[in-house]
């Protein structure tokens, strides 16, 4: 993004002429010219003008200072330095959270509309080291999926763009190796998971007439394997381990039914209709809400009610209804472990409050008002300090604010 031009007048208060040249000490300051001449009083007192503007492309949020220095071309040792500041905000784009440097703390990434991939590496105290990498193609379109795409325990990214698929292998320092993948991009749903037993992140494409599992070889190439069932039209797709075999399965949730795609590990699936009809409402999220290592489902069913579908591991669920004393029908729901008990909890960012929902493990919850102010933002949950508790990041156009979780329903703002 470019700022408006700012005009700097260069006058010569003495006689004769002052021939000058200009330099900058930062690459984001642009000059309309690099040389000029200003005339003194004996030659008509004619100043010259230099225009300066800032380019914030590739700069993260914060305050940046740059200097423009004017020096004489001939003879005189006179020089003048002007300091300018630019305060860019955050560009828009696609956010993700994962551990991109393998230190056990959650980091952030932004594939921006400026075609720069920003990475914020967590320092563990609620602050970040920012890294920027320009992209060789448009980054803000398509689907970004984090995962371990080469097995080195660093989180990588797979970008399925409208015209290509690219694996961004993390070097662990906020920079990446973009590697063109042999995945055919298409409109539809793209999900990441462990679809075979090799500990590499695979992906599945679900379109209107087919599903394809793309098994990862770990070197930036993939094997596309058509799934044996034809996927149903529409609905919400969620990834989880619904039978406890360590492989990623799928759940398709429509108005009429819930279908489980239980993964055989070879690109084919056993499709099972869940025993319970889905209630009206939404959104649906997935997590292990009772700590039995089976993926459960959670859905908002009314103004004050939710249902937790506790997974029995055989394609059936126990639906448990829970009622709260405030409006649940709007806002954002985030899944995380907010008290380090190895049971998934929830964070509800409602229009008028933020509430941590501590799971009791039986489909009921302890809703606890959090000391986090509400504003319109992108909200993310991750363990930013490595203490096994999910923290909260709030992203607004001007900054990233982090609330570190104390584990008792309160948070420390950083």
CATH (domain of 401): 2.130.10.10
Please indicate, yes or no, if residue 26 is contained in any of the structural domains: yes
How far is Cα of residue 204 from the mean position of the Cα atoms in its chain? 20
Domain boundary among 55, 86, 117: 86
Please indicate, yes or no, if residue 76 is contained in any of the structural domains: yes
Please indicate, yes or no, if residue 71 is contained in any of the structural domains: yes
Please indicate, yes or no, if residue 168 is contained in any of the structural domains: no
At 1 the pLDDT is: 63
Report pLDDT digits (tens) over 175-188. 999 999 999 999 99
Cα dihedral 193/195/198/203 (nearest 10): -50
How far is Cα of residue 193 from the mean position of the Cα atoms in its chain? 17
pTM score of the predicted model = 0.83
Specify the DSSP class assigned to residue 90. P
Please indicate, yes or no, if residue 410 is contained in any of the structural domains: yes
Please indicate, yes or no, if residue 279 is contained in any of the structural domains: yes
CATH (domain of 54): 2.60.40.10
Beta-carbon contacts of residue 27 (< 8 Å; ≥ 6 apart): none
Containing structural domain, residue 36: 6-86
In the chain (414 residues long), the average pLDDT of successive 10-residue segments reads 82 88 93 92 91 81 84 83 80 95 98 94 95 94 97 97 98 98 97 96 95 97 92 93 98 95 95 93 96 98 97 97 97 98 98 98 98 95 98 92 95 94
Domain boundary among 53, 70, 86: 86
Whose structure tokens read 């995962």? 147
Cβ proximity of 144 and 178 under 8 Å: no
Beta-carbon contacts of residue 134 (< 8 Å; ≥ 6 apart): 58, 115, 116, 117
3-state secondary structure of 42: helix
What distance separates the 2 farthest-apart alpha carbons in the chain?
96
Domain boundary among 70, 86, 102: 86
Q: What is the total residue count of the chain? A: 414
Domain count, the chain: 2
Cβ proximity of 331 and 351 under 8 Å: yes
Please indicate, yes or no, if residue 92 is contained in any of the structural domains: no
Please indicate, yes or no, if residue 312 is contained in any of the structural domains: yes
Cα(261)–Cα(270) distance, rounded to whole angstroms? 6
């Amino acid at each position: 993004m470019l700022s408006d031009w700012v005009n700097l007048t260069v006058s010569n208060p003495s006689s004769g002429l002052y021939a000058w040249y200009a330099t900058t000490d930062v690459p984001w300051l642009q000059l309309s010219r690099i040389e000029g001449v200003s005339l003194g009083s004996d030659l008509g007192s004619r100043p010259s003008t230099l225009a300066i503007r800032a380019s914030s492309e590739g700069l993260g949020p914060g305050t940046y200072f740059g200097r423009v220095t004017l020096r004489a071309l001939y003879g005189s040792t006179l020089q003048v330095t002007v300091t300018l500041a630019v305060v860019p905000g955050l560009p828009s784009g696609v956010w993700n959270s994962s551990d991109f440097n393998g230190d056990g703390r959650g980091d952030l990434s932004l594939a921006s509309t400026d075609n720069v991939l920003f990475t914020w590496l967590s320092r563990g105290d609620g602050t970040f080291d920012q890294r920027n990498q320009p992209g060789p193609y448009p980054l803000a379109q398509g689907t970004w999926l984090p995962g371990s795409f080469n097995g080195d325990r660093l989180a990588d990214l797979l970008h399925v763009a409208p015209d290509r698929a690219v694996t961004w292998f993390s070097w662990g320092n906020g920079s990446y190796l973009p590697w063109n993948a042999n995945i055919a991009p298409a409109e539809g749903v793209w999900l990441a998971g462990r679809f075979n037993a090799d500990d590499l992140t695979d992906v599945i494409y679900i379109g209107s007439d087919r599903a394809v599992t793309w098994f990862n070889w770990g070197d930036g190439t993939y094997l596309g394997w058509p799934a044996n069932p034809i996927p149903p039209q529409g609905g919400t797709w969620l990834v989880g381990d619904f039978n406890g075999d360590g492989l990623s399965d799928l759940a398709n949730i429509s108005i009429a039914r819930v279908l489980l795609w239980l993964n055989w590990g070879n690109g084919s699936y056993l499709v099972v209709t869940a025993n319970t009809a889905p209630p009206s409402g939404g959104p649906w999220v997935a997590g292990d809400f009772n700590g039995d290592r089976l993926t459960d489902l959670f859905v908002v069913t009314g103004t004050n009610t939710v249902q937790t579908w506790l997974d029995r591991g055989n394609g059936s669920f126990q639906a448990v209804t829970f009622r709260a004393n405030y409006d649940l029908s709007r806002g954002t729901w985030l899944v995380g472990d907010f008290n380090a008990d190895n049971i998934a909890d929830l964070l509800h960012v409602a229009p008028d409050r933020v509430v941590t929902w501590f799971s009791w493990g039986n489909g009921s919850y302890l809703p606890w008002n959090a000391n986090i102010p509400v504003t319109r933002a992108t909200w993310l949950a991750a363990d930013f300090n490595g203490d096994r508790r999910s923290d909260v990041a709030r992203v607004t156009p001007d900054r990233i604010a982090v609330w570190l979780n104390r584990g008792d329903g309160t948070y420390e703002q950083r």
